[in-house]
């Protein structure tokens, strides 16, 4: 089918519509949970003799659940390929619940239409009691809300980051040797920066005898470089202030 560009565009549009509906369905499922809680707390007054709310609740939950089936299956395959096993396991369970619920409800509806019987009678032709179907549906709705949240949490990457940080902080012989080398270099640098007491005293004594002596004169007299003589002269001048 790759040679038909129009079909590819159509498939892309369908995929986009399914992903959009799957993301938006989270809002519908949360809306259903809130409405259900309100109805329970108000002792059923929200739905009693209120056909609009009953229809709105039914439509929102059907769209929220059934529209999530393709997205759940695609994400299950995606997370298995990415080897994100925790998310893959959750989506596998969710996909199984969604498919089981859809299959069972479709079977009940088919029995009702084929045998031309009431919905209550059609329930008796399935192997699962209606209470069990309601439980599965309720768990599925809550799980759909949960997976939408954990979809944005990269658990595998977080664990890998922690392991990498632990490896970086581990003391290895190479790390100890590197730290030791740095410490030795710093000690040597500090020792080089310390004043040479012999040259310091020699320059100080010479300046005491010849206060007007210049840098070159002191350097020649004491057999040292002009920069060394200048350094000790500045230090002696600072101490005398």
Per the prediction, the chain carries an average pLDDT of: 77
Q: Where are the domains of the chain?
A: 5-153, 171-240
Q: What is the pLDDT of residues 120-154, one digit of tens each?
A: 788 888 888 878 888 888 888 888 888 777 766 66
The single residue listed with the structure tokens 């809130």 is: 34
pLDDT(210) > 60 = yes
Among the residues of the chain, which ranges form H helices? 5-41, 51-66, 68-81, 85-115, 119-123, 130-150, 155-169, 173-193, 197-209, 215-222, 226-240
Q: How far apart are CA 30 and CA 36, in angstroms?
A: 10
* The predicted structure's pLDDT at residue 193: 46
* The predicted structure's pLDDT at residue 194: 46
CATH class of 171-240: mainly alpha
pLDDT(160) > 60 = no
* The predicted structure's pLDDT at residue 241: 63
Q: What is the pLDDT of residues 28-45, one digit of tens each?
A: 778 888 888 888 888 888
Q: What is the greatest pairwise CA distance in the chain?
A: 128
Q: 140 CB contacts (<8 Å, ≥6 apart)?
A: 65, 94, 97, 98, 101
On whether the CB atoms of residues 28 and 61 are closer than 8 A, the answer is: yes
The token pair that represents 113 in the structure block: 């239409």
pLDDT(158) > 60 = no
């Amino acid at each position: 089918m790759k040679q038909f560009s129009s079909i590819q565009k159509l498939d892309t549009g369908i995929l986009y519509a399914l992903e959009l509906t799957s993301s938006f369905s989270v809002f519908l499922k949360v809306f259903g949970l809130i409405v259900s809680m309100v109805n329970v707390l108000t002792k059923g007054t929200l739905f009693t003799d209120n056909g609009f709310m009953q229809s709105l609740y039914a439509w929102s939950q059907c769209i929220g659940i059934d529209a999530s089936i393709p997205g759940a299956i695609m994400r299950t395959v995606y997370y298995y390929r990415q080897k994100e096993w925790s998310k893959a396991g959750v989506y596998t369970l969710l996909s199984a619940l969604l498919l089981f619920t859809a299959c069972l409800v479709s079977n009940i509806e088919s029995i009702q239409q084929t045998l031309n019987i009431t919905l209550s009678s059609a329930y008796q032709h399935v192997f699962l009691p209606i209470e069990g179907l309601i439980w599965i549906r309720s768990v599925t709705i809550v799980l759909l809300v949960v997976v939408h949240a954990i979809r944005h949490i990269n658990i595998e990457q977080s664990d890998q980051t922690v392991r990498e940080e632990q490896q970086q902080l581990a003391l290895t012989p190479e790390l100890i040797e590197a730290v030791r080398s740095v410490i030795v270099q710093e000690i040597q640098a500090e020792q080089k920066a310390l004043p040479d007491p012999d040259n310091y005293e020699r320059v100080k004594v010479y300046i005491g005898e010849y206060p007007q002596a210049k840098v070159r004169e002191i350097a020649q007299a004491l057999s040292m470089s002009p920069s060394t003589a200048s350094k000790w002269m500045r230090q002696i001048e600072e101490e005398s202030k």
